[in-house]
Structure 1
């Protein structure tokens, strides 16, 4: 269990007390005190490792199952003894290679907060450190932790959205350069980027309804005075979702424009091929007619027949070339 617990601390009057040696004693102290709460952070616990915490706080079995399976969409569930919030933190790898998505489950009760993290994206270390430097915020108890965690995740969404937009501008410039407009692989790069935006949207869009409920001030275990703070988080989330929708629309437009540009380029190539084929076809026809070995053919036995045939061939090629050039086919 110690390897699974990232951090475990008892906070009294907004300040961190001595780290508890036993979770049961810490929970009892927090409930007796009235101004204290316990915050336990876990990383990818197994069912056996999580059972101790489950028993101490009386967490609902359905919420425990969701926290262990770690393949949940963002949601907010209210149970008799706790509140259960699922978040999906994201991290955009440097260079735009990968969008890393983790999962973060937050259990909030009257005197405890339990966070369960899955995946590499982790905003909690900085959140805990920042809260411990602000005892006036921590005095608000588990509600303060819930707000700080949600605020950190959503604020990072804005950073990821900005990074995606920057990379999309670079991709757009690359696709529409004269050399890159018809380059093979442009459509696949656009589609791969669209997949990143879709994955990011799966993290942000479903969180809208839970944040709206927390901002309403009617959710148990959340103090009504915190309503403006959760409303601020909800506003930031709305901005992120609008940003993501804009990225998705722009990607669709870029893909459509790129495919249209490829089609135009292919039409240009076909016109050029057709023009050259026409210029080759006329002399081929003349040569074919005069190569049929019949005795009675005009100009067959004339001394000027051969140069006349060559003149017709060259002349037809010159006429066709000038005509196609004037029309822009060559």
Structure 2
């Protein structure tokens, strides 16, 4: 999918399929077809492949070719099956245009064209569109962090403030939710880190840009926002870890209760078993075998020993 936009009255207007792509200020290439990639490359812009975007070497993530800056970040997104993933997104800044290349669904790229005037920098130039898009991405990451915080609050309430002890199925569901939120938090943390590194690289190259002072001020403000969100992400990570430990502790307590019941039952039957095993021995001289009332006495002794064991456990508070 190829979307191209121009600026009119501080709004982004989509170009038609028959319009000149060279007039666009922002070109968004989402899982582009070979024909669409060829259209972009006809403007003199080299479009990186997905394999090149996934390279982890710093030289392949942030670099300059002539007057073109190529910057790649890793953002939370959705696969074709709506499965949460972390996917690379490349920002290509030329002297006249911004080109974004992505292969996964990313919500900020869908919401930003509808409201670019709400960002602090507007959309008067392609570089302001770039910073406005980063602002939208950072806002989306902040929303995801807030959602994680709400989920952690709900899980904590279920663990700490539930008057009844959760059963094993509820504890298993809490562990699954904690795992999902922790996985999402990791992708958000990666997105914040890569965005901060990209902005640092961008600020270093602002000496060659027009409107340097305003752009640098906006980039630095976004960097501070990212750093604040990173601190909040670390806090949520510690809360998720605490919730995981508490849930595992509840699981251990439930298992200990089950083992305690089994141990008590085994202990209750130990004295009767001892008595029964004594009279089950095949010795020739066992005088009790000839006594008519020996059998009911043995039964009474086994019952008495079991009751005495139960009473002792209750007295010690083990039941």
Name the TM-score, length of structure 2 as normaliser: 0.79
Rounded to whole Å, the distance in 2 between the matches of 1:17 and 1:185 is 49
> Structure 1 residues 280 and 222, CA, compared in 2 at 3 Å: closer, same or farther?
farther
Q: What is the aligned partner in structure 1 of residue 40 from structure 2? A: 53
| Aligned match for 1:203, one of 191, 202, 206 | 191
Q: What is the aligned partner in structure 2 of residue 286 from structure 1? A: 275
Q: What is the aligned partner in structure 1 of residue 72 from structure 2? A: 86
| Aligned match for 2:234, one of 239, 245, 251 | 245
Q: What is the aligned partner in structure 2 of residue 65 from structure 1? A: 48
Q: What is the aligned partner in structure 2 of residue 228 from structure 1? A: 217
| Aligned match for 2:31, one of 26, 37, 44 | 44
- The RMSD of aligned alpha carbons is 3.5
Q: What is the aligned partner in structure 2 of residue 7 from structure 1? A: 4
Task: Verify the 8 A CA contact 1:89 1:203 in the aligned structure 2.
Answer: yes
Task: Verify the 8 A CA contact 2:53 2:88 in the aligned structure 1.
Answer: yes
Give 1:248 shift.
2.1
Q: What is the aligned partner in structure 2 of residue 115 from structure 1? A: 100
> Structure 1 residues 234 and 197, CA, compared in 2 at 3 Å: closer, same or farther?
same
1:143 pairs with 2:131:
no
Rounded to whole Å, the distance in 1 between the matches of 2:11 and 2:293 is 111
> Structure 1 residues 72 and 240, CA, compared in 2 at 3 Å: closer, same or farther?
farther
Corresponding residue SS for 2:291: coil
Deviation digits for residues 162-188 of structure 1 (CA, Å, limit 9, x no counterpart) = 011111222333355444364463444
> Structure 1 residues 191 and 138, CA, compared in 2 at 3 Å: closer, same or farther?
closer
Question: Aligned residue pairs: how many?
Answer: 306
Task: Verify the 8 A CA contact 1:76 1:83 in the aligned structure 2.
Answer: yes
Deviation digits for residues 192-238 of structure 1 (CA, Å, limit 9, x no counterpart) = 43222223322222222222343567464464221121122112211
Rounded to whole Å, the distance in 2 between the matches of 1:193 and 1:156 is 16
| Aligned match for 2:144, one of 160, 164, 167 | 160
Q: What is the aligned partner in structure 2 of residue 312 from structure 1? A: 301
1:104 pairs with 2:89:
yes
Task: Verify the 8 A CA contact 1:214 1:222 in the aligned structure 2.
Answer: no
Corresponding residue SS for 1:42: strand
Q: What is the aligned partner in structure 1 of residue 316 from structure 2? A: 327
Q: What is the aligned partner in structure 1 of residue 21 from structure 2? A: 23
Name the TM-score, length of structure 1 as normaliser: 0.77
